[in-house]
Every structure is written in structure tokens, then in C-alpha cells.
Amino acid sequence: MNFSFERDSAAGNSAGTLLQSSVKVNELFRGALGRAARRIGHHKTKKEAVTTALSEYIAHRKRLEILDLFGTVDFDPAYDYQAERRKKR
């Protein structure tokens, strides 16, 4: 399955655009996608499935942003982590 959402740039963030988006999401979740999401996630309601999907999507995107940082941090070669562990607090 391949799904895509397009934003109507002419309408901006008007209530009509939000309503149209809501209708599209509702149409998707009435079909096989919604049934599969609710079955696999053991969700009782469509709202619960959508909320979980959005939360997981956001967490995934944040992890991707963190992965982009790998290799960009310069460490001090003189830093002795073992000496820091030996210090009494």
C-alpha cells in the first residue's frame, strides 16, 4: 500500500482544509489500512489508532534527527572518563 497526502497551499490552514484532511483520514481508516492498524496495534478505537500512529511517527522522525548528529560531535582527546568515575561525589 502506498499513501500520500498533499497539502492545499492555496487554502493554507483554513478550517476547510482541516476538514478535508480529516475526511481523507477517516476514509483511509474505514478501509483496509484502518482495519490493519487497529488489528495489529490492538486498538479499540480509530482515534486510539491514529493517536498511536502519530506518536510513533514523531518519535521515529526524532530518532532520524539524532542519527544525523552522529559523527558531528568532536570529543576532547584529553578527557579521562575513568578518572571522572573515580572521583568521589
pTM value is 0.53
- According to the model, what pLDDT value does residue 19 have? 56
Q: 46-57, pLDDT tens digit by residue?
A: 889 989 999 999
Q: What is the sign, positive or negative, of the torsion defined by CA atoms of 20, 21, 25, 28?
A: positive
Distance (Å, whole) CA 55 – CA 41: 13
List the domain boundaries for the chain: 15-72
Q: Which residues of the chain have pLDDT under 70?
A: 1-23, 25, 28, 89
Q: Give residue 2's identity as a one-letter amino acid code.
A: N
